[in-house]
Structure 1
Amino acid sequence: MTVTLAGCGVGTGSGDVTLKVVAANYDPNEGPSTKEYWDKLSAAFEAANPGIKVDVTVYSWTVVDAKVAAMVKAGNAPDIAQIGAYSDYAAQGKLYSADDLLSVPVQANFLSNLSDAGEQSRTQYGMPFVASTRLLFYNKKLFTDAGISKAPKTWDELRTDAGMLKQKGVTYPYALPLGAEEAQAETMQWLLSGGDGYTDSVGTYTIDSSPNIKTFSWLKDNLVGAGLTGPVAPGKLNRKAAYKAFIDGQVGMLNGHPTLVKQAEAKGIKVGMVPMPGSTGPTKATMGVADWIMGFKQNGHRAEIGKFLDDVFSDKNVLGFAGQYDLLPATVSASDAMATDPEHKDLKSFLNALATSQLPPVDKTSWPTVSDAIKKNIGKAVEPGKQPATILSQLQTTATAAQNAE
């Protein structure tokens, strides 16, 4: 009975346990709001669960993954980490599976595409904490001023609209951030819109596939080469700078995530949002992104970790965190609740897109290496004098070698 209950996340009651938790800071200004969220949640949990203490440390996104990696390497793993990737730790056998930790209703409540992305060898180790997806954002005023009456649905319409925006003097008709900050995300959205992606149905990298080469050739010739992506070369333009330019009213169109909506509207920008245009029509699937939470085996606190995570994934706590930062819940019940809440009406389009979104191959231990190579090199594929097929082939070589080393 003890084993069964422990597997369902029920505490053992075997004395005081302190759970060490490391989490990422979602505060846009690196302020204290994320720590305050965890402190409030932990205090309520401790009051309801005598004998379990929770000690949460919050780090900036720029260092949190490295902090956890250093702790694990030093033999001082936290009990719980809420960070950007889980695959290496799962492959090394350092994590409890979700089956080990969560009650059945909690585990079954994850959106299926997100829980699937948290699996290795059909076992879930990464638990999606919050999620986001991408839509094509457009500045309604700039569209009206340029005489554009509706959002584009195809690449050709996007190119035409970008040309009209340029004629009206818009600085970035389409902002294409292929700089090192998050080029892998912009790239994946375009690959999906061209009918392919990073991997095939069995998980083999297909970066230099014919559809992907066609996509980047179109980008190079029709947007970048036509001067429709603004004064900064895409390979030098980072997402943060592109988003700031959008908020400042200098961008006609870009791929945006949920938190950009209120930031733009706070500056008086009227935002339109539609699915990313595809080569012949709206893209069937958009890119999804999830941040992950995981439980480490080292300290042996399986039951206590599970009980705490069951509480973390309650609707109240999931909605509280996602709503605070304009992110998307990773659970079905919280997503349904958010979709019907007028306060979050701006997120409904993102919620609809998330259910069928495709995530990068985050289950692969090779993905960090491949993602890093994409960030550093994909911008070259649209540079003058460069051939997209050559750059994608070089990235494919890197990906194949990394996958073979898994």
Structure 2
Amino acid sequence: MRRALTALALTAAAAAVLSACSSGAAGPAAPTGPGPVTITWWDTSDAEKEAPAYRSLVADFEKANPGIRVAYTNVPFDGAREEFKAAAGTSDAPDVLRAYVGWTADLAKSGDLASLDGTVAAADSAKFQPALIEQATYGGKLYGIPQVTDTLALMYNKDLFAKAGIAAAPATWDELRADAGLVKERTGVDGFAFNPQDYYAMPFLYGEGADLVDVAGKRITVGSPAAVAGIDTLRGLLAAPGVAGLDTTENAYATVMDAFSNGKAAAVLQGPWETAALLGSPAFPDGANLGIAAVPAGGAGRPGSPLGGHNLVVNATSDAAHRAAAQKFVAFMTSAGSQAFAAARNATMPTRDDAYTAEVTTVPGLAGFRALLPTGRARPALAEYTLLYEPFGTELAKILAGQEDTRTGLANAAAESAKLVPDYTAP
């Protein structure tokens, strides 16, 4: 599952103004004028768990920028990209969108986004994780500012590992395979459970130095020998003693997380978005028992996990006054103060180091996930990249269900991928 999947420090004077506000976030003041400019923000965050913090930040922004008003709308994540594309160029389009990182290149290619190069929104771009700026860039131009980020980790139950005599998290898939067997043998519960979706299989490709495509070489690589080796490694792991039986239903995600939260599975691949939900569960009442480690390494010798998250992007067809106001709003919402405020309340991951305050780093799980960001793989600047997950996921399901062998399944995925990127060389 691709989830989501979060910044710019502004002037010292503005920071002083904002220090009295509830969030402590910083932002520049708008120029005085005949009346306030009203911009619209479509926020795709969770309406119940995350939106309240962002609404509070909007209020702070308006206090610090009396010349700008923000019309806040929380829109469902599913379908938001299509809704934005349909509204683009009309009066219904928002000035700012919280866009999943996989949408940014697509929306930039279609001309729906304004470049942020040279604007106040990008003033502190050097303070962001470089890989996150990379996946907010298309065609050499910056089209988004990272608001939140995420990556996959090996989450594990420290107590179950200790009872099985395992002193440290596995560093390779082979070690995870062996550890799963020990956990089952010595505790009676499954050592590992896997959610059989495309996104969760990407670390197995990265572990062999593979990907769905090679953007620099304009080649489709999902059917390459390295990719086959990665998925064969996954198949071998799932067949090993101590690994939970594969759930191939639509409830697989919930099944895996239910087993982990109730101490019936000792390890899973998962992102920080599930941390808050795990706290208070039978296995993780306070977070102390929750282990977070890098996904295991494959044959290439190093771990790799997809970077997710969301960028704030600006509508290309907004007029000059609304674009300028939108850029200031993006700068504020992605500032260190705003990110720290949201992270402490939503358990989301900031996208810049200066937002990891003492309060933020005490949020269970965030410090562990932060340490893993350097192993994350940025989304390539290819508009069609997110679409490539569909043929890969379709064939992955057949492979893991034993309906076809790995080589045949990935060859089929490559053939379907060629229809999405016809200018790429097919195997």
Q: TM-score, with normalisation over the residues of structure 2?
A: 0.81
Instruction: Verify the 8 A CA contact 1:174 1:229 in the aligned structure 2.
Output: yes
How far apart, in 2, do the equivalents of 1:280 and 1:369 lie? 27
Match of 1:40 in 2: 56
Equivalent in 332, 335, 338 of residue 353 of structure 2: 332
Aligned-residue CA RMSD in angstroms? 2.8
Name the structure 1 match of 2:4: none
2:271 to 241, 257, 265: 257
Letter in 1 for 2:138: Q
Give the structure 1 partner of residue 39 of structure 2. 19
Distance change (3 Å), C-alpha of 1:13 and 1:198: farther
Q: Match of 1:251, SS?
A: coil
How many residues align? The count is 387
User: Aligned partners of 2:376 and 2:291: how far apart in 1?
Assistant: 20
Q: CA deviation at 1:167?
A: 3.2
Alignment of 1:300-339 (within 5 A): 300=319, 301-335=322-356, 337=357
Residues in 2 aligned to 1:373 and 1:101: alpha-carbon distance in whole angstroms: 38
1:344 alignment partner, SS class? coil
CA separation in 2, counterparts of 1:405 and 1:71? 29
Moved more, 300-309 or 64-73: 64-73
Residue-by-residue CA offset, 1:68-105 (whole Å, 9 max, x unaligned): 33433766211001032222221121211121543553
Q: Of the candidates 76, 98, 102, which is equivalent to residue 60 of structure 1?
A: 76
Q: Distance in 2 between matches of 1:399 and 1:129?
A: 30
Indicate how the Cα distance of structure 1 residues 135 and 59 shifts in structure 2: closer, same or farther if over 3 A, else same: same
Shift of the 103–126 alpha-carbon distance from structure 1 to 2, 3 Å rule, reads closer
State the match for 2:212 in structure 1.
Answer: 198
Instruction: Return 5+ residue gaps in structure 2 as ranges.
Output: 1-27
What is the CA-CA distance between 1:132 and the residue it aligns to? Answer: 0.9
Q: Using the TM superposition, name which of 134-143 and 109-118 deviates more.
A: 134-143
Runs of 4+ in 1 over 6 A off after TM superposition: none
Cα distance 1:288–1:201, how it changes in 2: closer, same or farther (>3 A)? same
SS at match of 2:191: strand
Aligned residue among 390, 397, 412 for 1:379: 397
Q: In structure 2, what residue type is equivalent to 1:344? A: V
Partner of 1:160: 178
Bigger helix fraction: 1
The Cα of 1:207 is off from its aligned counterpart by: 1.0
- The answer to whether 1:244 aligns with 2:258 is yes
Say whether the 8 Å CA contact 2:395–2:412 is kept in structure 1: no
Cα 1:73–1:105 shift into 2, 3 Å: closer
Segment of structure 1 superposing worse, 148-157 or 302-311? 148-157
SS at match of 2:371: helix
Which of 110, 123, 132 is residue 105 of structure 1 equivalent to? Answer: 123
User: Normalising to structure 1: TM-score of the pair?
Assistant: 0.85
Identity level (%) = 23
- Going from structure 1 to structure 2, the CA distance change for 1:389 and 1:372 (only over 3 Å counts) comes to same
Gaps of 5+ in 1: 1-7
Residue 160 (structure 2) aligned to one of 132, 142, 145: 142
